[in-house]
């Protein structure tokens, strides 16, 4: 059977083992916006991705999905206005709907990278959110892999959408599909063994449930419907 894998900027190797999710190719994987290392010789441990022209079970191995854009009226202008100007500029160019945290001050530290197939946002907490690092990424590229059984996620988030909730080395990750694309939220504590916010999944799930739609390019070209 075929499987669709989720895209993850921080620990794609772990999420590659989680079924029924979306993933971008290693060459398209979003960098952490904190890093400016674009050297062509950078090494990667990402799982080998299928060739663009390969077909698995009659479907393309690599496919661009159709983005289901929310109405412009759904943009949370209050949250968007709190993001830095550089982040707002990147959001306006994003090819997928951008979600940012509504509560707290994380959005005020947002750094956003918009690329042809994905968007990635990174935030370091301050004040009451000091010691937290949050990343939110989304992609419209799906990879299908042969020989891996499909298993439906057992959890749900954001109005009943199927989701994976995982933890690896103290980092909490939530993956789900919304607006026709795949989202991954990663929450990391500077001192995970001492920080109650990373002791359970409660904090990352609260952030996921409170994410606000803040816009994008509303680009509609391409994508499978």
3-state secondary structure the chain: CEEECCCCCCCHHHHCCCCCCCCCCHHHCCCCCCCCCCCCCCCCCCCCCCCCCCEECCEECEEEECCCCCCHHHCCHHHHHHCCHHHHHHHHCCCCCEEEECCCCHHHHCEEEECCCEEEEEEECCHHHCCEEEEEEEECEEEEEECCCCCCCCEEECCCEEEEEEEECCEEEEEEEECCEEEEEEEEECCCCCCHHHCCCHHHHHHHHCEEEEECCCCCCCCEC
What is the pLDDT at residue 221?
Answer: 67
What is the pLDDT at residue 2?
Answer: 40
Under the banding of pLDDT at 50, 70 and 90, the label for residue 220 is confident
CB 30 within 8 A of CB 141: no
Whole-angstrom Cα Rg for the chain: 17
CB 129 within 8 A of CB 104: yes
Under the banding of pLDDT at 50, 70 and 90, the label for residue 26 is very low
Model pLDDT for residues 183-198, shown as the tens digit of each residue:
999 999 999 999 999 9
Q: Distance between CA atoms of 43 and 51, rounded to whole angstroms?
A: 20
Is 36's pLDDT higher than 80?
Answer: no
What is the pLDDT at residue 15?
Answer: 38
What is the pLDDT at residue 136?
Answer: 99
CA 108 to chain centre: 19
**What number is the average pLDDT over the span 4-24?**
38
Whole-structure pTM value: 0.74
**What number is the average pLDDT over the span 169-183?**
96
Q: Which residue has the higher pLDDT, 7 or 195?
A: 195
Model pLDDT for residues 86-110, shown as the tens digit of each residue:
999 999 999 999 999 999 999 999 9
Is 162's pLDDT higher than 60?
Answer: yes
Alpha carbon distances (Å) from 210 to 67, 76, 103, 158, 159: 21, 12, 7, 9, 11
What is the pLDDT at residue 224?
Answer: 46
Phi, psi torsion values for 113, nearest 5 degrees? -115, 125
Pick from 221, 218, 224, 222: which is nearest to 94 by CA?
218
| Domain boundaries of the chain, sorted by first residue | 2-31+47-215
CB 193 within 8 A of CB 170: yes
Under the banding of pLDDT at 50, 70 and 90, the label for residue 17 is very low
Alpha carbon distances (Å) from 169 to 11, 139, 179, 186: 10, 24, 30, 12
Q: Is 91 left (phi over 0), alpha (psi -120 to 50) or beta?
A: alpha
What is the pLDDT at residue 181?
Answer: 96
């Amino acid at each position: 059977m075929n499987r669709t894998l989720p895209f993850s900027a921080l620990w794609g190797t772990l999420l590659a083992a989680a079924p029924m999710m979306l993933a971008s190719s290693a060459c398209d994987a979003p960098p952490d916006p904190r890093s400016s290392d674009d050297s062509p010789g950078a090494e990667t441990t990402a799982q080998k991705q299928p060739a663009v022209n390969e077909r698995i079970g009659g479907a393309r191995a690599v496919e661009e999905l159709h983005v289901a854009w929310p109405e412009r009226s759904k943009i949370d202008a209050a949250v968007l206005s709190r993001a830095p100007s550089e982040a707002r500029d990147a959001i306006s160019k994003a090819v997928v709907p951008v979600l940012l945290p509504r509560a707290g001050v994380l959005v005020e530290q947002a750094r956003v990278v918009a690329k042809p197939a994905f968007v990635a946002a990174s935030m370091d907490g301050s004040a009451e959110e000091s010691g937290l690092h949050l990343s939110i990424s989304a992609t419209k590229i799906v990879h299908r892999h042969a020989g891996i059984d499909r298993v439906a996620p057992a959890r749900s988030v954001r109005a009943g959408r199927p989701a994976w909730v995982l933890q690896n080395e103290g980092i909490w990750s939530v993956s789900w599909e919304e607006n026709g694309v795949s989202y991954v939220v990663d929450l990391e504590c500077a001192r995970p063994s001492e920080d109650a916010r990373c002791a359970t999944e409660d904090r990352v799930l609260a952030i996921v449930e409170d994410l606000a739609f803040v816009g994008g390019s509303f680009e509609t070209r391409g994508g499978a419907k």
